[in-house]
Each structure stands twice: as C-alpha cells, then as structure tokens.
Amino acid sequence: MNDTLFGGADAALLADSVDRFLADHYSFEQRRRRLAGGPTDPGCWAQMAELGWLGLPFAEALGGFGGGWLDVALLMQRFGRALVVEPYLGNVVLAGGLLERLGSAGQQQRWLSPMIEGRCQLALAYGERAARHEWQRVRTIARPHGDGVELHGHKTLVWGGATANVFIVLARDDLADDALSLFVVERGSPGLSCEPITTVDGRAAAELSLDAVPVSAGQRLGLAGQALPEVARVVDAAAALGCAEGIGVLEVLFTGTLEYLKQRLQFGRPLASNQALQHRLVDMHTLLREAQGMAHFAVSALEADAASRGRAVALAKVHVGEALRHVGQEAVQLHGAIGTTDEFPISHHFKRATALSLMFGDVDHHRARLGETLRGEHAARERQAA
C-alpha cells in the first residue's frame, strides 16, 4: 500500500496516528456492530474530535489545525481502507467548508465551532431528484416572510443528514429565478421533516422535506443569490477527497485479492500461479496506480481557479470511478462466491467502491463535464484566432 501518496510535512505522524486509532477501533467486526446500531449511531465522532480530525482543514482562529487538502486526503485514504462510516465529508468538507468561507463570526461560533469540537453535526442539503447536478433546476424555494424567508421543497441524499443537528439548505430566491442562496436550518424547526435512509454500502443519509420552514435573516449564509460558486467549490472538494477515499478502498481490494490467490490452492498449486489470473491482477494494479495519480492531481488542484479545479476533479472522477468499478468487480469474481457474502470484508469494500463511483457525479456525468469544458476552450481559441 502507498503510505506516502498524500499528506503534508507531517504526513508520517498523521498516518501513524490514524492507523493506530483505526486498528484499535475499526476492526471488521467492530464496524459491522456499528452499522447494526442504525443510522443514528454516533460511532467514533467524539474520539475523532479529540484527535483533531474534525478541525484538520480549518484555520487555527476557528479552532482548527490549519492543515491542507493533502492532509485531509491522507485521512480519507485511511478511512477508505477501514471503511469508516462517520460522515466526515458531509460535516467537515461540505457544510463546514461553507461555514468557513461564508459564515459570519457569529454563525461560525454558533455552528462551526461545536462541530469541530464534536458537540454537533452538520449536513449540506443541496441535491434534488430532478436537479441532480444541474443547479439551474433547483426547485426548493425561499419565499419572503417577515424579516426572513420560508423554505418550501425537498432534498435528497443529504450526506450525514441522519445524525445532523444543523442543515445548510440550497434554495432558489423567490424574487430572482436565477439566484441561489444558502440557509441554515436547525433540526426540529417547524415544517422540517428528516427521514433517514441507508445507502447500498450501509451508510446513513437522509431525505429532507421543507414545508414553510421559517428562516430568519440571521440564518442566511453569505450574500443573497451568490451561493452557486461556493457550493460548486465544496462539492468539487468532496469529490476529490472521495477519490482519495476510493484509493484506500482500491488498495484493499487489490491486496486482498492478491493474497487470496496466493493462498487458495487448486490442483495443488496456488491460483496466483495461473498466468491468466496474473494478467488480470496486473490490470487491476495498473488501474490502481493510475487512480492514485489522478486522485493526487485532483486534491492538489483544489486551490486552483474554478476552471482548472473542475477539470482536474472531473478527470479524477472518471479515472477513479472506472478503477472502482473494474477492480471491484474483478475482486469479487476472483474470490468466487465468498466475495459476495456479508461476513467477508471484500464484499463491503466492493459496495463502498460502487457507492463512491456514484457520489458527487458518476463517470458519465464527469465525462460530459469534461466535454463541455473542452468545447468551451475550443470556442475560445476560435474567437481569439478570428
């Protein structure tokens, strides 16, 4: 396994700390018991806060540790290996990232600091069934009401929403059809309904229904109508870091399959001695190494301009998504029937690989995104030439 792919100057110290914690608290059976506890099981959230992981990317002035995206990527790579189920991306990267960039000092003190300290959980509610990643089709409406607004609409696949105390909701301003804004809504608000759901890999998400949910002026996050660039930024960050998590999943799928074929005997010889199977292992390893490079490329581009960042993330999602699909399928096939059983770890990594390949846009979505980028760049060059 590549232990030096991600991380800053103190990567070795962080990696050692994470590995020791996961070895103590995240064995396969411990994880299965945690999943059996249901979607609202807090798991290791408090311990993660004590270790400083929840504040890793935030400035020290906010109670964070001032780490970089590569440090977070190292953490996510380890989470992928152990299949950590706590909603880190939903809290720290999506909702926490928006509060850091758009929140006032009062809003950060009220909602971001408690999350960093492990006293509450956050979630970003931006997706809708009809809209997917087409922001212009968002149908949740913020209608003026008194000195604030009322929210009407429905949100789907709210990552971490099952345990969240606070939601950041993306909605369309009623007076400006093309303007999107963000609003902070606390669990228990009148008109808010939260239904936990379980994804294919056993993780907890939620569906939100908003029926005239009252929101005061102080609960608007950032300026009216200017949410789109910042939401796009944090979703790109989550997609890139999801790729980093995918690297950890791929590493276990590959090494687990390799070790199984070395140990499994057929006609007195290990399966790994079969040349056809060796070729399949080489293909799996090649895809893993390509995915590692693309994931690192995407994470390193998160502080670049929007166009460069978007291109890097889309490229990584395509390459890592294809690797997750192919390596996952090969791992299950080469293990045989045991690879599909719930009692065997490979089946859980396969399910997580499937989920990660779909999160924050699947391969087809990001291929189309790359196509739009290339067409735009070609048109710009033609205009310059004319």
CATH topology of domain 229-385: Butyryl-CoA Dehydrogenase, subunit A; domain 3 (1.20.140)
Residue numbers of the chain with a pLDDT score lower than 70: 1-2, 4, 8-9, 40, 131-136, 175-177
Helix crossing, 306-335 with 275-300: angle to 10°? 160
Question: Which pair of structure tokens corresponds to residue 68?
Answer: 């970089």
Tokens 């380890």 -> residue: 78
**Phi, psi (degrees; rounded to nearest 5) at 195:** -110, 115
The beta-strand segments (E) located in the chain are 122-125, 141-145, 148-155, 166-173, 180-186, 192-198, 204-215, 220-221, 265-266, 269-270
Question: Which pair of structure tokens corresponds to residue 185?
Answer: 């809504």
User: Is the CB of residue 353 less than 8 Å from the CB of residue 199?
Assistant: no
Could you count the other beta carbons within 10 Å of the beta carbon of residue 330? 21
Which letter does DSSP use for residue 202 in this model?
S
Q: Would you call 87 helix, strand, or coil by DSSP?
A: coil
User: Which residue type occupies 266?
Assistant: Q
pLDDT, position 7: 73
Question: Which pair of structure tokens corresponds to residue 114?
Answer: 């408690």
Which letter does DSSP use for residue 38 in this model?
-
User: Is the CB of residue 137 less than 8 Å from the CB of residue 130?
Assistant: yes
User: Is the CB of residue 226 less than 8 Å from the CB of residue 240?
Assistant: no
Q: In angstroms, rounded to a whole number, what is the distance separating the alpha carbons of residues 373 and 82?
A: 36
Q: Computed over its alpha carbons, how large is the radius of gyration of the chain?
A: 22
Which letter does DSSP use for residue 137 in this model?
G
CATH number of 11-120: 1.10.540.10
Q: Which CATH architecture has domain 124-225?
A: Beta Barrel (2.40)
pTM beyond 0.85: yes
In terms of Cβ atoms closer than 10 Å to its own Cβ (0-12, 13-18, 19+), residue 21 is middle
pLDDT, position 2: 64
pLDDT, position 235: 97
User: Which residue type occupies 111?
Assistant: W
pLDDT, position 6: 85
Domain boundary assignment for the chain: 11-120, 124-225, 229-385
Q: What is the pLDDT of residues 190-241, one digit of tens each?
A: 999 999 999 999 888 999 999 999 999 999 999 888 899 999 999 999 999 9
User: Which residue type occupies 257?
Assistant: T
| β partners of residue 211 | 152
Classify strands 192-198 and 204-215 as parallel, antiparallel or unpaired.
antiparallel
Q: In angstroms, rounded to a whole number, what is the distance separating the alpha carbons of residues 87 and 85?
A: 6
Tokens 């300026």 -> residue: 223
